[in-house]
């Protein structure tokens, strides 16, 4: 689809130039406005669920340069600058709802379909880590390159089986963390690529380079823990990973139960080398139960012995077996993102 004229309105109303049926899209949601030869700016039209450019909510007008990730409610679009031949023809592509991609073309600006986040093994690691000390001393963290994406045309391969059972009835709450106390033992660190620490009553992990991931160890160990945490995704990042860690022994031995904000899921393990997906395969599996680019997720990881299970918003999404049991718990983030963790609860048999 090609954007022409002085203005181009996006929304769910029939009179819009581009009609989107996704959740959170207002009748008149946003408007592309001419800002010069072959240039457009984007303005929010008071949409209740907001308009985002490169992860930031806008009011407008915000100039576009041909590479931004846009979000209208729960519908995403990735812009790319058009080649000269593409500017001379119109392209008709369906715009679909809730995590799929609206594909647009402007004078000099074209959009392409977002590729799913998939994973292989991480590149050579760069560590920021130490053996996990006990509270109240700071706990350990690992910061490394994240798995590179596979080509979009590759077939999706399921990497993990769905989880099927809930928290054991004999488990009881043994630990709570609301991250309101900056001395509660989670590490605070800052690197050129990754920053982590307490912030406004939550624990924040920011990663500026999409090829990196970070782990943060709490230094606290529990027997067969079930861990739950609320994750805020204020920038509506749609190509990042976030999860919980269990069986953490050191920076080279731990398990990760994670979702991708593009609607994928993986249970991963590190045993001295690269992060690998448990259960086989080299790609994160798609899951219809993982909302794409949501502002909030509630994650729950069950690490009972060698059995690992993951839930998202109360729905089971993955299960796998680990060759390790025991160790401390922690947090995980991957890709270019800004995640806020809060209301962490650990339940265990006592």
Two structure tokens written together for 262: 């593009």
pLDDT, position 36: 82
pLDDT band for 35, please (50, 70, 90 cuts): confident
pLDDT band for 111, please (50, 70, 90 cuts): very low
Q: Do 337 and 242 form a contact (C-beta atoms < 8 A)? A: yes
The count of structural domains within the chain is 2
Residue 283 forms part of a structural domain: yes
Residue 274 forms part of a structural domain: yes
First vs last C-alpha separation in the chain: 60
pLDDT, position 39: 84
pLDDT, position 116: 28
H/E element, 87: helix 84-87
| Mean per-residue pLDDT over the chain, rounded | 76
Q: How many residues does the chain have?
A: 350
What average pLDDT does this structure show over 28-45?
Answer: 89
Do 186 and 45 lie in a common domain? no
Residue 118 forms part of a structural domain: no
Do 108 and 154 lie in a common domain? no
Do 75 and 26 lie in a common domain? yes
Residue 1 forms part of a structural domain: no
Tell whether the model's pLDDT for residue 80 goes beyond 80: no
pLDDT, position 344: 97
Do 108 and 148 lie in a common domain? no
DSSP secondary structure of 212-248? EEEEEEEEEE-SS-EEEEEEE-TT--SS-EEEEEEEE
Tell whether the model's pLDDT for residue 21 goes beyond 50: yes
pLDDT in tens, 162-196: 554 455 556 799 999 999 999 999 988 888 888 99
Most confident listed range (1-10, 38-47, 311-320): 311-320
This prediction's pTM:
0.61
Percent of the chain with pLDDT over 90: 40
Do 188 and 226 lie in a common domain? yes
pLDDT, position 60: 79
Residue 27 forms part of a structural domain: yes
Tell whether the model's pLDDT for residue 350 goes beyond 70: no
* Domain boundary, last residue among 112, 129, 159: 112
Do 172 and 108 lie in a common domain? no
Do 317 and 242 lie in a common domain? yes
pLDDT, position 150: 36
pLDDT band for 306, please (50, 70, 90 cuts): confident
Do 102 and 161 lie in a common domain? no
Residue 300 forms part of a structural domain: yes
Do 22 and 159 lie in a common domain? no
Do 343 and 207 lie in a common domain? yes
pLDDT in tens, 137-164: 334 555 555 543 333 333 333 445 555 4
What average pLDDT does this structure show over 38-53?
Answer: 89
25, 115, 191, 225 from 73: Cα distances, Å:
5, 19, 33, 36
How, if at all, do strands 18-19 and 7-11 pair?
parallel
Do 246 and 159 lie in a common domain? yes
CATH of the domain at 243: 2.60.120.560
Residue 120 forms part of a structural domain: no
Higher local confidence (pLDDT), 336 or 93: 336
48-57, 129-138, 149-158, 315-324: least confidently modelled range: 129-138
What average pLDDT does this structure show over 53-66?
Answer: 82
Domain carrying residue 81: 7-112
Do 63 and 192 lie in a common domain? no
Higher local confidence (pLDDT), 90 or 211: 211
CATH of the domain at 100: 2.60.200.20
Higher local confidence (pLDDT), 139 or 334: 334
What average pLDDT does this structure show over 228-239?
Answer: 92
pLDDT, position 329: 95
Q: What is the DSSP letter of 161?
A: B
165, 172, 226 from 169: Cα distances, Å:
11, 8, 12
pLDDT, position 321: 92
Higher local confidence (pLDDT), 136 or 261: 261
Tell whether the model's pLDDT for residue 43 goes beyond 80: yes
pLDDT in tens, 268-281: 999 887 888 987 67
Residue 129 forms part of a structural domain: no
């Amino acid at each position: 689809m090609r954007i022409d004229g002085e203005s181009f309105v996006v929304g769910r109303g029939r009179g819009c130039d581009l009609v989107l049926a996704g959740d959170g899209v207002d009748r008149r949601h946003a408007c592309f406005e001419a800002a010069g030869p072959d240039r457009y700016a984007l303005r929010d039209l008071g949409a209740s669920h907001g308009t985002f450019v490169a992860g930031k909510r806008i009011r407008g007008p915000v100039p576009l340069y041909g590479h931004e990730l846009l979000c209208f409610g729960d519908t995403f679009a990735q812009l790319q600058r058009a080649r000269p031949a593409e500017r001379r023809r119109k392209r008709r592509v369906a715009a679909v709802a809730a995590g799929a991609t609206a594909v647009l073309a402007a004078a000099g600006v074209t959009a392409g379909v977002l590729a799913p986040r998939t994973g292989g093994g991480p590149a050579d690691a760069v560590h920021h880590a130490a053996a996990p000390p006990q509270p109240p001393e700071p706990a350990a963290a690992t910061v490394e390159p994240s798995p590179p994406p596979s080509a979009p045309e590759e077939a999706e391969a399921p990497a993990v089986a769905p989880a099927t059972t809930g928290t054991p009835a004999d488990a009881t709450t043994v630990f709570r963390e609301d991250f309101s106390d900056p001395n509660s033992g989670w590490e605070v660190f800052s690197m050129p690529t990754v920053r982590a620490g307490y912030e406004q009553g939550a624990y924040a992990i920011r990663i500026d380079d999409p090829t990196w991931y970070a782990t943060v160890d709490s230094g606290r160990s529990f027997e067969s823990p079930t861990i739950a945490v609320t994750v805020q995704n204020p920038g509506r990042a749609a190509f990042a990973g976030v999860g919980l860690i269990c069986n953490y022994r050191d920076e080279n031995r731990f398990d990760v139960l994670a979702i991708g904000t593009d609607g994928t899921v993986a249970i991963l393990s590190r045993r001295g080398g690269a992060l690998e997906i448990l259960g086989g395969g080299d790609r994160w599996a798609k899951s219809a139960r993982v909302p794409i680019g949501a502002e909030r997720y509630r994650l729950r990881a069950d690490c009972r012995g060698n059995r690992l299970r993951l839930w998202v918003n109360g729905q089971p999404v993955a299960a796998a077996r680990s060759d390790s049991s025991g160790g401390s718990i922690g947090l995980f983030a991957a890709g270019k993102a800004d995640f806020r963790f809060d209301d962490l609860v650990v339940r265990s048999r006592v």
